[in-house]
Structure 1
């Protein structure tokens, strides 16, 4: 995603802010998924996702047709229902997700943190 966003000036940074936001939130989302994955997926499942040859997919994100069910299971448990499609789109193709709108909700608004708090 970073390769697709060239920033040469402060004005361009302002214009591309939504791409940078999406890149940050995508990385943070993958970190959150990995840190909570033991509650939903086995480490072997996650290992298979990490080893996925993303270059063979027409979408650059971590989620694809092969591993979609594992991600959807996590999404159902950790994302507010109103935002399931947002997270699916970000995981499938973060660059396209950033292009769709400059007013996407923040990741923190989409997550269902109460789910995690009640597990402890």
Structure 2
């Protein structure tokens, strides 16, 4: 993260919820993959997948928060991005209002597991 780069209020709120979504996604991965001991969270502007691990052939996940999964084609773009990665386990996690927590339809039918983190309330 670049602490010297100013963010406007909306960017700060979105980034905060994306960090929250990353932590929630990490929790799901630890629960889903027994034996998983560590992951890398690439928060903010770090390169690479948002969540990564070398465990069991590799884990790659993209994470976002938005007002809608289709906003700016974010969900589609992230599914395509993760789908190109060589890792064995591929995920997209997202946090959006009015979307129930659980498995979400992957419109591309590729091996990317898409999961809604629900409508998180603080």
Structure with greater helix percent? 1
TM-score of the alignment, normalized to the shorter chain, above 0.5: no
The structure whose Rg is larger is: 1
Q: What's the TM-score, normalizing by structure 2? A: 0.38
Q: Which has the higher contact order (CA 8 A, sep 6+)?
A: 1
Taking structure 1 as the reference length, what is the TM-score of the superposition?
0.38
More strand by share: 2
